[in-house]
Chains A and B, each alone.
Chain A
């Protein structure tokens, strides 16, 4: 039997559920209680929209170990000091005060699907009615990799500052070596954008880009994929022309091991040494999904994109959204926000005893992605796409014609980038 919202908030252990149910709750009982794991783009959006669209009929508890969220979106601009970490840090106050989301700072360790129970580090085992898993990514282990010496900066925050500080201290005409993980990975254009940002930083500092310096710095990009994975026109042009003397792009380079003390990365294309090494390991779903058996043999959690419910039959009423889910949609904060709304709508329908599989709804399940990539200190490009549900295949597919990228990078795009991110942040966290 699920705990009431009130008793859950008080973190009553699962064994005391019957006792907890007898405690008098002052507020009207909600019709359903949703527990959300993870306070990033996916988790915050689903929490907000569940509360907003259910007019408060659905109680939501969001469980997140950190006291705030630092956005990965825009975080490459911390490297060139266009932004500070505080500019990208979001508290959970608005979710709590404006929308009535209960926020609990705890860490989820395990899910028992058949029992509909969740183990938290501090609170122990608790029950859930419905569970939304939005826990983001976890990196694969790489032999020799010490993240403090060789930062990934692919989960924003301390790692981003670490990388920025290493770039600040490296020689102006030194060598920066970075690796790009095997797809699917978080933020398809992000690594190529980072290569451009670092080439711009070093190119300006050395004087090479304005002709006052004769020695070009080097940015070596080791891509585990066979080619550029996003904004191919933009990044091919930036790598070959704008930063042609600085960036060296090497595809099909699988990372095998790292010497974190001597800053050497060993790959299938050879060994590369740098003054700064930025290794972004391959990644998959968080460990909690694996140890709980939710992902089965997959790297990501398989879901039905009509509802984002797990396809694992042992995990009824468990939904997975954002980077953790395993559809072919790109892994991005914008897309996580989009998926969260489809999921919220479905959960509200279920709570009211309504189907998510009406003909009308099935024909109108869409998500979209839009993002901007800074290419220079004050110019950016963009990428956009729309996905729709195909009832014949049961999957989300790219709508023909909707995929587009900027014809060139520009200062107008750079300004639009801040409007875009400001709106995305607000729709998610505020």
Chain B
């Protein structure tokens, strides 16, 4: 959809045109990109975030909880665990995407 601008008295009025845009035209986040980033956790946390053994499951986690946990690890003054270093490898936006993706998966990993 084209955004139509109307120039009146030297002022660019586009606000009303934007407001008329239906919601569906908002640029949606590419969920396959989020899936691709999140899959990099699966080597240790299992396919679709369903881990074996003592490592935490990620599938079905609340997005905010998982993201906050990763932000905390990223913020460690003295990174000492594998996950402290792993968290430092991702931007805040990537962490948000990873957490958002796992929140959409079932807790049992979907197997």
Interface residues of A (CB under 8 A from B): 48-49, 52-53, 334, 337-338, 341-342, 345, 348-349, 358, 360-361, 364-368, 370, 382, 384-388, 399-404, 407, 416, 418-420, 422-424, 426-427
Contact = CB atoms under 8 A, between A and B. Distances in A.
Contact of B89 (A348, A349, A386): A386
A407 B39 contact: no
Contacts of B25: none
Nearest to A342: B36
Given A385-B85, A401-B85, A404-B79, A424 B44 contact: yes
A337 B52 CA distance: 17
A345 B43 contact: no
Contacts of B89: 366, 368, 385-388, 399, 401-402
B105 interface: no
Interface in B72-110: 79-80, 82, 84-86, 88-90, 94, 97
B7 to A, nearest CB: 30
B36 A341 contact: yes
B13 interface: no
A367 B54 CA distance: 23
A418 B44 CA distance: 11
Nearest to B80: A407
Given A366-B90, A386-B86, A404-B84, A361 B52 contact: no
A423 B46 contact: yes
A221 to B, nearest CB: 26
For chain B, what secondary structure do more than half of its interface residues adopt (helix, strand, loop), or is it mixed?
Answer: helix
A426 B52 contact: yes
A356 to B, nearest CB: 10
B88 A419 contact: no
A345 B86 contact: no
A387 B85 CA distance: 12
Given A49-B39, A358-B30, A361-B30, A384 B82 contact: yes
B45 to A, nearest CB: 7
Nearest to A398: B89
Nearest to A365: B36
30 contacts: A48-B47, A341-B39, A341-B42, A342-B36, A345-B32, A345-B36, A349-B32, A358-B33, A361-B33, A365-B36, A366-B94, A368-B86, A370-B44, A382-B82, A384-B85, A386-B88, A388-B89, A399-B89, A401-B88, A401-B89, A402-B89, A403-B85, A407-B80, A416-B54, A419-B52, A419-B53, A422-B52, A423-B46, A423-B53, A424-B43
Contacts of B35: 53, 345
A418 B29 CA distance: 36
Nearest to B29: A360
Nearest to A41: B43
B46 A427 contact: yes
A399 B88 contact: yes
A356 B7 CA distance: 39
